[in-house]
Amino acid sequence: MNRRGLILSVLALGAAGFGGATWFANRPGPVAEAEPVAPELAEAMIRPYSPILGPADAPVTIVEFFDPACEACRAFHPIVKDIMAEHGEAVRVVIRYTPFHGAASEEAIRVLEAARMQDVYVPVLEAVLREQPRWASHGAPAPGLILQVAATAGLDAEAARTQMLAPGVVAILNQDRADVETVGIRRTPTFFVNGKPLDPFGEAELRRLVAAEVASAQK
């Protein structure tokens, strides 16, 4: 999907909106900065087991509802990494699994959790997203291909076959599915920054919201 084209369309049509928006960014034009989520939803935003990229004690938290089989998540991954690099120790990313693409998504999440058990989460995540067009056929994902991809990044595929079926992995999948429903997630990626939803959606908006939260934390 052409993000630059989407941004130009928003600028051109402004408050009139646009009917042909892409599936992951079909909200209206700019609105006032969002308030943090309601307190009753706060627990569902981050769980103690949620994977964290960056410093665990960073003052600014990006929560990403993420599907490893989602093309838009793949497109935004380098943007998120660039934001983290720009702000250094001030920003962390919390991953919430959102398996909207069925069997391909679930298998990838299980592989990522096996990678976390083996302490190779980040390199496997990078490999899985890099090779997503190969393994994430939404119609008929190739069985076992994602394990081959992950093995190139250091995953012990034989051990992973058992780890992927561990009760703890099943529990993570079930809880994240429940939290996706509780928070009301309808598309991936969906971002929250220190509890504030990214709305409207876009790279520039994400960068602006993160920068504002970093500046506020440094006061």
* CATH number of the domain residue 122 falls in: 3.40.30.10
Q: In the 3-class helix/strand/coil scheme, how is 76-100 assigned residue by residue?
A: HHHHHHHHHHHHHHHEEEEEEECCC
Q: What is the pLDDT of residue 20?
A: 34
Is residue 29 situated within a structural domain? no
Q: What is the pLDDT of residues 142-166, one digit of tens each?
A: 678 999 999 999 999 999 999 999 9
Residue-wise pLDDT tens digits, 40-71 = 788 899 999 999 999 999 999 999 999 999 99
Give tens-digit pLDDT for 65-110: 999 999 999 999 999 999 999 999 999 999 999 999 998 999 999 9
User: In this structure, what are the phi and psi dihedrals at residue 68, rounded to the nearest 5 degrees?
Assistant: -65, -15
Within-domain flag for 181? yes
> Does the residue 154 lie in any domain?
yes
For residue 74 the two structure tokens come to: 């793949």
pLDDT, position 28 = 35
| SS3 category, 124 | helix
Query: What's the chain's average pLDDT?
Result: 86
How much of the chain exceeds pLDDT 70, in percent? 82
pLDDT band, very low/low/confident/very high, at 36 (cuts 50, 70, 90): confident
* Top-confidence residue, 179 or 9: 179
Query: Which tokens go with 178?
Result: 């429940």
Query: Does some domain include residue 86?
Result: yes
Report the b/e string of 85-110 with b at 16+ CB within 10 A.
eebeebbbbbbbbbbbbeebbbbbbb
pLDDT at residue 10 is higher than 60? no
Q: Is residue 6 part of a domain?
A: no
Q: How confident is the model at residue 139, as a pLDDT?
A: 56
In a domain, 36, yes or no: no
Residue 110 in contact with residue 169, Cβ under 8 Å?
yes
Q: Which two tokens stand for residue 139?
A: 């119609």
What is the predicted pLDDT for the residue at 141? Answer: 60
12 has pLDDT over 80: no
In a domain, 159, yes or no: yes
Task: Give the pLDDT confidence score for residue 7 in this predicted structure.
Answer: 35
For residue 193, tell me if it sits in a domain: yes
When divided into structural domains, the chain yields a total of 1
Give the structural domain span for 165.
Answer: 45-218
Res 67: pLDDT: 97
Omega before 189 within 30 of 0, i.e. cis: yes
